[in-house]
Structure 1
Amino acid sequence: MRYNNHLELQKTEFEFNEFIMLNLINPEVESLNGLNGEMLIEVDIEFEIDSNNIPQNIKKAEQFNGIPRMVSFKKELLKIQDDLFLNECIRVITDFKNWKQHKKDNQYINIKFFKTIYFAYHSEYFRNKNDFELNPDIKPYFRIKNDKYERIIKCKYGCDGVANLLCIVEKNGELSNIELIGISGKISSEFAIKELKTLGNLEPAIKDGKKVRTQIDLLIYI
């Protein structure tokens, strides 16, 4: 067994990020009511891919990834809800079907892979739960996927920087109360938000057949 930071998975990296955004269930964190700002929890996971491309031995990583994204690590929160977040990470890793085994000279090799999975909570989750759905039945999505969408959401044509934005999606699909989680490279948060808003409204979230307010976590590439 040897360690590897999932370089062999680069071809499926975007698809995995999209899968997380659309399917990750954020556990309720009732013990943290009263927080005024957004909260991001990051969980480092290690696992193996067997010869049938099926993940095995999924658990919290023994080696801590110091800079998994562009934000500070909320270690104290992981101690509060560790099992709850870990169980959801295991579900996500298991449900994703595009993992690829590691091969050398066309022979299967057993390697530990690593993935950082994050759980983002908008400040409104803590302040205004009566008018907020953390996990709607249908999450919001962009109505139009044109060249600009491909550029700033998928980074199809390259970029100079990336901003991680946590947004409220209103019942009419409008983006509001945009919070900056992290930023890197030659980009300002103001410009990233301006570019994001040029994509127009999203299809709103649905819960029990009704439109609801919810959050969406986006990486904006400029």
Structure 2
Amino acid sequence: MKLTFRALLGAGLLVLLTGCQTAYYSAMEQVGVHKRDILVDRVADVRDSQTDAQEQFKDALEQFRSVVQFDGGDLDKMYNSLQAEYDDSVDAADDVRNRIEKVETVAEDLFEEWNEELGKYKSRDLRNQSARKLRETRQRYSELLRSLKRAEKRMEPVLATLQDNVLYLKHNLNARAIGALKGEFRGMQQDIELLMRDMQRAIKESDSFIKSMDNQA
């Protein structure tokens, strides 16, 4: 069977990335930082990233409010400010997504390693205790991940609405365009309220997960 260049390149990149990840874990373990520690740190990073994202989406909503309440002045300046808030919101959302991916990567690696090492125990009691802790940790992690993914999904309609309105305003810098955007504001406000609610839940889940992992240490 012949492999295409793209397939070979993909396989090579996978090997390279896997090798880099393995080397990273090895280097961290040499200084006493193990996968569970890395997982806790990355969950904390997600929590902090979501906190920052909350503030950014609130700022974007306030800028949008200023646009729909526009009553004379420099409309082009208002557009530029809204565009800047949209760009910052995209960056904030990307940061949250990237940090969630990093959490997923180390969690999968941790659970795989943990499960494999269960077979190395000679003591049945110790093996059973470790297996129980693994199941409990996986369950808590699953709850955390569901919460993170729910909040992540909530960002999409907000970004879509922001983008639509930024594009519309870009090509219609007049008072009539402002009137058209007023009808969009309430829907965006509701989407952001839902986003704030789910992000806050995810932040609490992150704190709870970190606390449970610290208690295991």
TM norm structure 2: 0.23
More helix by share: 2
Q: Name the one with the larger strand percent.
A: 1
With the length of structure 1 as denominator, give the TM-score of the two structures: 0.22
